[in-house]
Structure 1
Amino acid sequence: MIYKAKQLSALKSVAMGMALAAALSCAPAAQAQTVTAVMQSGLRVMDPVISTAFMTRDHGYMIYDTLLGTDANFKIQPQMADWKASDDGKTYTFTLRDGLKWHDGAPVTSEDCVASIKRWAEKDSTGQVLMTMVDDIRVVDDKVFEISLKEPTSLLLQGLGKLSSRPAFMMPRRIAQTPSSQPITEYIGSGPFKFVQSAFRPGLKVVYERNDDYVPRSEPASWTAGAKVVNVEQVQWVAMPDQMTPINALMNDEIDFIQQVPFDLLPMVQDQDNIKVEVLDKLGAWTYFRFNHLHAPFNNRLIRQAAMYAVGQEDVLKALVGNPEYYKPCAAVFGCGNPNENDYGKDIVVPANIEKAKALLKQANYDGTPVVILQPTDIAMLSAQPVVIGDALRKAGFKVDMKTMDWQTVATQQSNQKAPADGGWNIFSTYSILATSGDPFGNTTIASNGKKAWAGWPDVPEIEALRLKYARAKDDAERKDITAQLQKQVIDEGVVAPLGQFLIPAAYSTKLSDVLPSPVTVFWNMKKSDK
């Protein structure tokens, strides 16, 4: 038996070595002017307007730029453009800064930016409300355009400077004129990196080269604002076949950066002399699950509430994180620690209450309709939640059908509005960064305008009325009152089911320096030595 165990151990080591070799065949050994990174998943969805997936967003920040940025003090700052507001707050004049070029060498113009804003606003939950308040968008000349508002609102600058999940990235007019219902097929931006199309292997490898024509701002880098100075020649994102492979690759100096370290593997890298472990997003994230409101059984409010009662946050957080230093339960859809924190519904979403869930299912006459849950298997930060949710729902009396797939497939499936029996879904879980979740516009999950809303498509007119009221609010006290009303509506209607908050550690080689703390992973500012 001992001999057999040794044989199995040896075979496992050989298999792991082969997997590592296969993964690294996509990229050379880490070089001084190349940063090789393992991100949370492989990249397949490329259009940052079509998808809210973080991988797509991170890709967007590599090659595109935004008119405005957000700094570490949550202040909106000029990025591609400066602005001037009229005395009545109803007209904003934007002036593009000098030196802006698309990656194909053409100058960035006002027409490009106007087309980009319009396409973004068709999909984005902030942009959709903003456009109801816009009277006109007018090109003045090649470098100047104006946005006229029907009424003053802070939503214009907040929308154009938003961090995530669907930032207002600027694209050439010919690309931005692609209908927002269709993905773009050309990936040209004006940002600090260029996408290398010839090296792209969907789901496996992405290569970005420094854009030598990019002219950074002069201010210090701060989140998505300030100088986006690229100090390396190239960044490569490589996907690896399992969670252990990148850990071994980092320890062996074969890669430079792991975006998310699985919590159970943290001890392997925490005490390594050549590795630094750091939480780059100091505010952290919140995880949640989302119902499909279009189809049975979750087109029934009582059944949504039953599911929310069934799932306990502590169960999810223990499975996902384990170490309580990195997590805490929280009922607030706008985030615990954020100004709009509210704990309404904590009795529904924090503890598991299987008996209450069973009672609600009986009251709703649940007929055993299967619940299709999407489970991504390749992201440590997302693979545990569906398992815990499915187990809790089964205990409450739901019939559960767990569908496993990689995260990029889940991201693609999210927009599928077909009935679950025809290939659709009932539940998926994900997470969002707290830096963008503190208000009803940055928080993508709140919008409830039916099929125009984010995946799940809740239709709650009262929520939309409150969001518009928030956009018109004059002070923080009024906004606080509105978000308290929103918290109640969101929980009562099952728009989103919070599962708690957590911090995500990254790990990187000590050859890297000046890695920028930020709620989104960025590769400008960082430097790499050859020792």
Structure 2
Amino acid sequence: MKRNLLLITILTAMLFIVAACGSDSSSGNNDSDASGENSGGTLNIAIDGAPPSLDQPAVSATATRDAARPIFESLVVTDSKFNPQPMLAESIDTEDNKTYTFHLREGIKFHNGEEMTAEDVVASMERWMEKSSVTGNIFEDATWTAEDDYTVVLELEEASALVLDTIASSKQAAGIMPKEIVESAPAEGVQEYIGTGPFKFAEWRQDQYIRYEKFEDYQPVSGEPDGLAGKKEALVDEIYLHIVTDPTTRLTGLQTGEYDIVHGLPYDMYNDFKEDPNIETIMAKEGNQVLIMNNVEGLSSDIKMRQAINVGLNHEDILMAAFPNEDLFTIDSSYMDREIETWASDAGSEYYNQNDPEKAKEMLDEMGYAGEEFTILTTRDYIEFYNAGIAIQEQLKQMGINAQLEVYDWPTMVDKIENNQDEWDAVVNSFSVVSTPPQLLALSDSYAGGVNDDKVGEMMKQIEVAPTTEEAKAIWDELQLYAWEELLPVIQNGVYHYLYGYGTNVEGLTTTSGPVYWNVSVTE
């Protein structure tokens, strides 16, 4: 029987008040006035690093995810529980999870004044399939067709229950742009940032700020705001994203009122600013801190070395070194975030946080380890990575491993991860929350040289084409167990939280896979 998966129900309700400063995926003080009476002014935000681009589909950086979000919108987005909900699509039909028909909202304007039509959607989605790393096998040889001005049909080679979850992903998001922008884009990325979102791109001064202006012709969906779904309103006239790399400078700017919102409050000062009556905080679950293992070359390409290290590490101590308060992290073995109930798994948990350095020594002796240098990459650009690296190095030395720490700036470290697999054995890094397992960089066949294991690719393909999410979940449990028991492409330290701070003059700030700047107002 034909199913209508997602249909926007027209609501007339005002925005609900959501008051929270917790660690859930959608949190914060959501007291914004939906009538717009508190609108106007400028929202000054200090971010911790410049995005390499605002080209959503082409760039995986979280800085791009956050900075592009006010400009672009997708057919489908996630709510606070990571369920797909319609945005630029009015509704979506499917009979067999193989053919999807997207009925578009009519009268939606791009920032250049042109109306969004099916041709724009087709061009954007075809480019997303080409550029984004989250599409996996699902969209291989898929076709997008404009049936009429407001109807787009997706045809898959194989049925998949994960289509809408993947399109809704905020990682390398499927932002809709004008067809002419897409078709004129050179290989290095789009040259104009034109979307349908509540704010339009205005100006970018390199290493200083990115400025956005309220889009007066924005047409929001009806319905209660929930995560990235529901009604959006631009309650300020403009937004500045100030690029401020020093965490102490960001905090000082928040305390003096120079900035209304800051990203990345310093973890080592958490106990101080959480007691400050003039600062509100959101502790948002950001992702998993991991020790990436080199599965391609060197010492850690030997599974016995990876297993010995995994047996010996004390992850609670590592996390405390990186995030010096138990409020800021969670000991957890699940590759997928616990709040994504469909995918959270305990499979393989018995192999996590074993904290047995003596057994690790025995395993190293059995494999014939002879004191060769074990190189760990880290960076001071994110001090939590550096502090975790120091703790890991010390623990490896206690196991008898000749661990050496090499410290680089962030761009250099990223380049070495991707292009110089012969120069490192492990890297301290983190992976942001994703909505389905095929989006996990930890199990990618290309990131950092890849997992170098055919079984992972085969099982991911089975997950992607499973006829139901229940069947896909069973395969995912099996794959996560395999990753912990026999593969260990990464050694997971645990889940960490990212700290946003804002002044008492700010209302409505929430987070879902990064900050949400619409429905936010400021008072003088």
- TM-score in terms of structure 2 length: 0.82
Q: Quick check: 1:297–1:366 contact (8 Å CA) kept in 2?
A: no
Q: Quick check: 1:37–1:237 contact (8 Å CA) kept in 2?
A: yes
Correspondence 1:209 to 2:213: yes
Q: Quick check: 2:311–2:357 contact (8 Å CA) kept in 1?
A: yes
Q: Quick check: 2:161–2:466 contact (8 Å CA) kept in 1?
A: no
Correspondence 1:312 to 2:319: no
- CA distance in 2: counterparts of 1:261 and 1:521, whole angstroms: 14
Change (3 A) 1:261 1:299: same
Please list the CA deviations of residues 124-143 of structure 1 after superposition, one character each: whole Å capped at 9, or x if unmatched. 454121123x5532222343
Change (3 A) 1:324 1:298: same
AA of the residue aligned to 1:228:
K
Shift of 1:344: 4.4
Please list the CA deviations of residues 475-520 of structure 1 after superposition, one character each: whole Å capped at 9, or x if unmatched. 5553442222111222221222211123333210111101124232
- Equivalent residue, structure 1, for 2:33: none
Q: Which has the higher contact order (CA 8 A, sep 6+)?
A: 2
Change (3 A) 1:186 1:296: farther
- CA distance in 1: counterparts of 2:387 and 2:186, whole angstroms: 33
- CA distance in 1: counterparts of 2:222 and 2:69, whole angstroms: 19
Correspondence 1:296 to 2:303: no
Percent pairwise identity: 25
Gaps of 5+ in 2: 1-38
Change (3 A) 1:337 1:189: closer
User: What does 1:313-392 align with in structure 2 at a 5 Å threshold?
Assistant: 313-336=315-338, 339=341, 340-366=343-369, 370-392=373-395
Shift of 1:176: 3.7
Shift of 1:380: 4.5
Change (3 A) 1:271 1:140: same
Which of residues 450, 457, 468 in structure 1 aligns to 2:450? 457
Please list the CA deviations of residues 176-203 of structure 1 after superposition, one character each: whole Å capped at 9, or x if unmatched. 4589974444433332222334x4213x
Correspondence 1:441 to 2:434: no
Change (3 A) 1:516 1:344: closer
Correspondence 1:143 to 2:145: no
- CA distance in 2: counterparts of 1:305 and 1:174, whole angstroms: 51
Partner SS, residue 129 of structure 2: helix
- CA distance in 2: counterparts of 1:362 and 1:103, whole angstroms: 64
Partner SS, residue 405 of structure 2: strand
- Equivalent residue, structure 1, for 2:78: 70
Please list the CA deviations of residues 420-457 of structure 1 after superposition, one character each: whole Å capped at 9, or x if unmatched. 44xxx5433333455x35x413434333xx33xx3441
- Equivalent residue, structure 1, for 2:238: 234
Shift of 1:315: 1.6
Change (3 A) 1:93 1:337: closer
Please list the CA deviations of residues 60-94 of structure 1 after superposition, one character each: whole Å capped at 9, or x if unmatched. 21222111111124332111123432434432222
Change (3 A) 1:187 1:247: same
Correspondence 1:39 to 2:43: no
Please list the CA deviations of residues 306-364 of structure 1 after superposition, one character each: whole Å capped at 9, or x if unmatched. 33334321121111222223333112222456544444444543133334444444444
Q: Quick check: 1:50–1:181 contact (8 Å CA) kept in 2?
A: no
AA of the residue aligned to 1:314:
E
- CA distance in 2: counterparts of 1:347 and 1:87, whole angstroms: 41
Shift of 1:231: 0.8
Please list the CA deviations of residues 108-129 of structure 1 after superposition, one character each: whole Å capped at 9, or x if unmatched. 3433322332333335454121
Change (3 A) 1:188 1:486: same
Change (3 A) 1:120 1:308: farther
Gaps of 5+ in 1: 1-30
Shift of 1:33: 1.4
Change (3 A) 1:528 1:135: closer
- Equivalent residue, structure 2, for 1:503: 497
Partner SS, residue 229 of structure 1: coil
- CA distance in 2: counterparts of 1:235 and 1:317, whole angstroms: 34
Give the aligned length.
484
Q: Quick check: 1:243–1:380 contact (8 Å CA) kept in 2?
A: no
Partner SS, residue 139 of structure 2: helix
- Return the structure number with greater strand share: 2
Change (3 A) 1:98 1:179: closer
Q: Quick check: 2:136–2:438 contact (8 Å CA) kept in 1?
A: no
Q: Quick check: 1:275–1:508 contact (8 Å CA) kept in 2?
A: yes
Q: Quick check: 1:122–1:180 contact (8 Å CA) kept in 2?
A: no
- TM-score in terms of structure 1 length: 0.81
Q: Quick check: 2:135–2:439 contact (8 Å CA) kept in 1?
A: no
Give the RMSD, CA atoms, in angstroms: 3.0
Please list the CA deviations of residues 4-30 of structure 1 after superposition, one character each: whole Å capped at 9, or x if unmatched. xxxxxxxxxxxxxxxxxxxxxxxxxxx
Q: Quick check: 1:41–1:408 contact (8 Å CA) kept in 2?
A: no
Partner SS, residue 190 of structure 1: coil
- Equivalent residue, structure 2, for 1:267: 271
Partner SS, residue 499 of structure 1: strand
Correspondence 1:97 to 2:92: no
- CA distance in 2: counterparts of 1:351 and 1:259, whole angstroms: 33
